[in-house]
Amino acid sequence: MDKKIPGNSSNKAGNTVKMKNLFSRITFLFIGIISTIWFLIRVIPKPSRATYPCMKAAAPFMSGFVVYLLAITGSAFAYQKFKKKLSGAKYFAAFSFLIVAFVMLIIANTSNRNEARAIELVTSDYFVANEPIGEAKGLKPGRVVWMWDDNATDESCDPSAGDWWAEFTDAGVVDDMLKKAIIKYTDISSLPLAWDALFKYFNNEHGKGNVGYQTGEKIYIKINVTNSCCSVSGTKKVNDFNRMDSTPEVLLALLRQLVEYVGVPQENIYLGDPFRTFHDLYWDMLHGEYPNVTYCDGNGRNGRHQTVPSSSHEMFFSDGRLEYRIPQEYIDSDYFINVPCLKTHDSGGMTLGAKNHQGSILQDGAGSGSQSAYDMHYALPDHDGSDGGHYRYRHLVDYLGHEQLGGKTLLTIIDGIWAGRSWEGFVEKWNMAPFNGDYPSSIFVSQDLLAIDAVCYDFLLEEYKNKPNKTKYAYMAGTDDYLFQAADPANWAPGVEYDPEGDGTLLKSLGVYEHWNNATEKKYTRNLGTGNGIELIAISKNDPVASPDLETYRNAFEVSLFPNPASTELSLMLNLNEPSLVSARVCNSLGQKVLQIKERALGSGKNLLKWDVASIEPGFYIINIDVNINGNIRSSSLKFYIER
């Protein structure tokens, strides 16, 4: 895949540069004044606000503006001194002041250039269709599943009027969407077996053998609650309700699958955004159903777990400039599930799977609950300058390749139930088909770290194609540079060798990157049968996700459980249409397996199974039943109670 870099004549280039310089200076002065006033108004009454990301974003413009003013003033003062000393025939002193004036002018010009950059935008013809680069990854190589159901959101939601968008989300629809997405990705109709296949692929790739999830293994679920940085008092959200973060209903659906279908004990799950605040609107929903999950944030207030930074630096930027600590909880986990949001970004162009890891690193000296790391912004495309930023060092490649971040990622789930604009995630309805003026109501799933970002990038490019330039962040030159470089080491920035652990082991291809043929068909090379790139599987609320063979067995059995509540004995009645292999397992409310029923052959008709539960503690339990009919597996889950 080649990047198209448009050229222009020397006269046009000269005029363009002059106009850009003039515009840059005017923009610099305007932004500098506004940033300085805003910073002082916000920080003087409450100095701790200086650690807020919004203040850190304003600080460089303010500091650049102040340095610029001081440099200009110093230059003028030195020049006056130069003239005075020269007229007095004090040549050495006059020459010294002339040097000072010259240096001050250089500083002023440098400050202006560093802090006021005219962002270069590319046009849609920059992106070449169906020319994949890299090596497709995953149980289904290069596959991305896009699940869309407009019933997931209520189109009457008006965030601009103060509506909190998550209150307009249908949890039942979202739960069903995630189930369908996992089943469709794996082509396995049983959720427990689908997840088992995901774990087995991951463990095979990491040298652990063909094994699924093992009891005792830990999972970290990285979410995105960027807007909790400035909109929370204690743990209560108080403003910015028009800005989207992770949809709590998506997280609830994911926890439900891991605990109830995979059998992961709640206490073996970490969930959070390591250095943000896990505010009450998330806590109330998730902790209410799964109280023993470890909910992580940067402060540890009101029952949350405060993130523990690693004892040493673990992340080493491959350009040699910076190194960081990461959460110790990442290191302690065996698997990582990345749950970013579908958003554009004013500095990075877009913030998807790769940039969600911006919250995975800790800058030394940063306060708890504050921006985890700000100094890395130099590696984002809005800092590239006028050359468009082609093949620069991109720290996002280090994130995707690091053994504790991208290297541990079992699955990426991009939350597009509500989409956001810019880093703030302003909630907006989407105009592109099939959304047509409604919220996107989508979930994306993949095991290929790059393919899923590439697909969502195409969605962002299409949605923002005809919008004003000031919102076209996805078209910022250099936005996709990390995808090119992560896909193929041949595209690495000159002089950079990506080695995020600093151990001498260089990264290889991390996945596959390409663009679809067009926004109507949304087909990639695996869809077209023309290459080994991306395969986009699109499903909507009316599309069946079961395989044709499975339809024959959709009503192949009936199941009932009694007595419920049980005391000493539990009975299960299975009415089978055909002879089948049946297995089951019982898990407690923590997701811990307390009873395993090994696979056994049962005949057609009614089959009564009984178990002694006298030794099991009273409480709430779930029994998961798998019925294997000629290789087609159907599953059912029933809740029951034990009381005495």
Helix (H) and strand (E) counts for the chain?
13, 25
CA distance linking residue 219 with residue 336, whole number of Å? 6
CA distance linking residue 42 with residue 442, whole number of Å? 37
Query: Which pLDDT score is estimated for 11?
Result: 38
Please state, for a pLDDT cut of 70, what percent of the chain lies above it. Answer: 77
> Worst-scoring range by mean pLDDT, 83-97, 282-296, 368-382?
83-97
Please write the tens of the pLDDT for every residue from 487-497.
999 999 999 99
Spatial CB neighbours of 475, under 8 Å, sequence gap ≥ 6: 121, 122, 123, 349, 461, 464
In the predicted model, is pLDDT for residue 486 greater than 80?
Answer: yes
Query: Which pLDDT score is estimated for 26?
Result: 64
Q: 275 and 297 in contact (C-beta within 8 Å)? A: yes
Q: 606 and 577 in contact (C-beta within 8 Å)? A: no
Query: Which pLDDT score is estimated for 503?
Result: 96
Query: Which pLDDT score is estimated for 158?
Result: 93
Instruction: Report the mean per-residue pLDDT for the chain.
Output: 84
pTM: 0.73
Cα torsion at 378, 382, 388, 391 (round to 10°)? Answer: 40
Please write the tens of the pLDDT for every residue from 138-159.
999 999 999 999 999 999 999 9
Q: Give the sign of the dihedral formed by CA 387, CA 392, CA 397, CA 398.
A: negative
Query: Which pLDDT score is estimated for 641?
Result: 86
- The two tokens of residue 363 are 């800058």
Q: Which whole number is the average pLDDT over 174-196?
A: 91
Q: Give the sign of the dihedral formed by CA 518, CA 519, CA 525, CA 527.
A: negative
What b/e sequence results for 530-549 when a residue is b if at least 16 CB atoms lie within 10 Å of its CB, and e otherwise? Answer: ebebbbbbbbeeeeebbeee
CA distance linking residue 201 with residue 194, whole number of Å? 11
CA distance linking residue 252 with residue 23, whole number of Å? 48
* Helix residue ranges, H only, 271-404: 280-289, 328-332, 395-401
Query: Which pLDDT score is estimated for 520?
Result: 97
The SS3 assignment for 136 reads coil
In the predicted model, is pLDDT for residue 387 greater than 90?
Answer: no
In the predicted model, is pLDDT for residue 433 greater than 90?
Answer: yes
CA distance linking residue 296 with residue 303, whole number of Å? 10
* Other beta carbons within 10 Å of 398: 31
CA distance linking residue 224 with residue 245, whole number of Å? 6
Q: 182 and 174 in contact (C-beta within 8 Å)? A: no
Q: 142 and 451 in contact (C-beta within 8 Å)? A: yes
User: What is the pLDDT confidence band of residue 89, given thresholds at 50, 70 and 90?
Assistant: low
* Other beta carbons within 10 Å of 77: 14
Query: Which pLDDT score is estimated for 220?
Result: 98
**pLDDT greater at residue 222 or residue 83:** 222
Q: What stretch of H or E contains 619? A: strand 619-629
What b/e sequence results for 253-283 when a residue is b if at least 16 CB atoms lie within 10 Å of its CB, and e otherwise? Answer: bbbbbbbbbbbbbbebbbbbbbbbbbbebbb
Please write the tens of the pLDDT for every residue from 543-568.
877 543 434 444 567 888 889 889 99
The SS3 assignment for 12 reads helix
**pLDDT greater at residue 487 or residue 59:** 487
* Other beta carbons within 10 Å of 211: 12
In the predicted model, is pLDDT for residue 272 greater than 60?
Answer: yes
Query: Which pLDDT score is estimated for 100?
Result: 58
Which parts of 422-469 are beta strand (E)? 426-427, 442-446
> Worst-scoring range by mean pLDDT, 103-112, 269-278, 623-632?
103-112
Query: Which pLDDT score is estimated for 43?
Result: 57
Query: Which pLDDT score is estimated for 51?
Result: 44
In the predicted model, is pLDDT for residue 325 greater than 60?
Answer: yes
